[in-house]
Structure 1
Amino acid sequence: MINLRLLKIHNVQLPEGLEYLSNNLRLFDWEGYPLKSLPPNLQLDKIIELKMDLSRIEQLQQGIKPFNNLKSISFENCRYLIKTPDFTFAPNLENVNLQSCTMLHEIHPSLLVDKKITYLYMMKCTSLTTLPNQIHMESLRRHNLSWCYKLKKFQRL
């Protein structure tokens, strides 16, 4: 599996996670990822799309190795995600999906000053109360904050 480029895992429970992931992965899609965080030694230098929908992940650990090619990240319906990471680990990120992350209450400021993000979905983030003060997203074309009922303070995007 050294040259594996696409990995999709759906409806499979591996409580210990995976022991090894190919550094050649372009798409990593694990719906229902069972662990609270990604492995600390995760090295996905060529990853373009990371999908962890419906996972038990709580947060991406600080000091995650850079994903320089990452364009799209999705944590849709991750009910245990409490805060986002410092998104500088993914300098070419364009699409971010945090839809229905009902426990999400903290957005790292780096997300809202990213100049390359074009799509930002945070619909139904019902625990989110504020967004960082600095919002400067030059490339943003579409965003959705619908049903973020507790959101009280934010600048225009």
Structure 2
Amino acid sequence: MISLETLGRDIVRQENFKEPGERSRVWLHDEAFDILETHTGTKKVEAICINFESESPACSLTSEEFANLSNLKFLQMDFTKLDGDFKGRLLKLRWLRWNGCLRIFRPTNFHLKNLVILDLSRSEVTEAWEIWNYIKIARKLKVINLTGCKSIVRTPDFSAHVTLERLILRGCSKLKEIQGLGRLELLMDLDLSECESLVRRLPNISSAYEKFKVSCSLE
């Protein structure tokens, strides 16, 4: 029996069998990497998925590979490196999944003001990671996922993200402090499971926080 996911991808593939860069969504890794490498993507592409294996050396992409993808709203680029000036790039991006990104952050002008979901699971991010300076302007951000980020000891200050509804820090084994949590009045889901180094308590639970779904123990 064909799954809905498979059926949906087949329908998208029918938009243009021969030219993946003319489709709205490019789910297959080989096709996605090819249109980036050959600069054959177009403004029709709204979603693109690249997923290198975690044990492979990180592949490097530059801002030029995204020059023609002006309507990109979903980007998955697991275990890749970025470089270059992203001014005018990725302006419509809503969802960024960048699992396995490295500690060294090279892109400039990486402004993601329309971002809603940020997934940096299994990455080398720290409080000082440069991307946080760019994420501050994302006034629509609702989800941050840092699952398995084992290098992070102290989170960046989340107080600027007052729209945040879901914060996932599961498996951040070195995490000791969460900054700005008390300002997140819209937060509904906080996952601190497997954060065994977390020594500071959550803010006092007021009526604004009674709706938290906290899936952790701080004992």
Scaled by the length of structure 2, the TM-score of the pair is 0.58
**1:58 alignment counterpart:** 126
**2:190 alignment counterpart:** 120
Whether the aligned pair in 1 keeps the contact of 2:83 and 2:106 (CA below 8 Å) is: no
**1:30 alignment counterpart:** 98
Whether the aligned pair in 1 keeps the contact of 2:146 and 2:169 (CA below 8 Å) is: yes
Give the C-alpha shift of residue 92 in structure 1. Answer: 0.6
Q: Where do 1:38-77 residues align within 5 Å?
A: 41-59=109-127, 60=129, 63-64=133-134, 65-77=136-148
Give the C-alpha shift of residue 30 in structure 1. Answer: 0.8
Give unpaired runs (5+ residues) of structure 2.
1-68
Q: Quote the Cα distance in structure 1 between the aligned partners of 2:183 and 2:172.
A: 21
**1:155 alignment counterpart:** none
Partner secondary structure for residue 107 of structure 1 = strand
Choose from 97, 106, 111 the match for 2:177: 106
Scaled by the length of structure 1, the TM-score of the pair is 0.79
Partner secondary structure for residue 138 of structure 1 = helix
Which amino acid in the other structure matches residue 85 of structure 1? P
Q: Say which structure is richer in helix.
A: 2
Q: Quote the Cα distance in structure 1 between the aligned partners of 2:154 and 2:163.
A: 20
Choose from 111, 115, 138 the match for 2:208: 138
Q: Quote the Cα distance in structure 2 between the aligned partners of 1:57 and 1:38.
A: 13
Give the C-alpha shift of residue 85 in structure 1. Answer: 1.5
How many residues of Structure 1 are paired with residues of Structure 2 in the alignment?
A: 144
Residue deviations 1:26-63 (CA, integer Å, cap 9, x gap): 00001111125685633111111000000011125565
Give the C-alpha shift of residue 141 in structure 1. Answer: 3.3
Give unpaired runs (5+ residues) of structure 1.
152-157
Which amino acid in the other structure matches residue 175 of structure 2? L
Name the % identity.
Answer: 24
Query: Are 1:87 and 2:87 an aligned pair?
Result: no
Q: Say which structure is richer in strand.
A: 2
* Structure of greater Rg: 2
Could you say if the C-alpha distance between residues 38 and 53 of structure 1 is closer, same or farther in structure 2, counting changes exceeding 3 Å? Answer: farther
Whether the aligned pair in 2 keeps the contact of 1:115 and 1:136 (CA below 8 Å) is: no
Partner secondary structure for residue 174 of structure 2 = coil
Q: CA RMSD in A?
A: 2.4
Choose from 64, 76, 80 the match for 1:13: 80
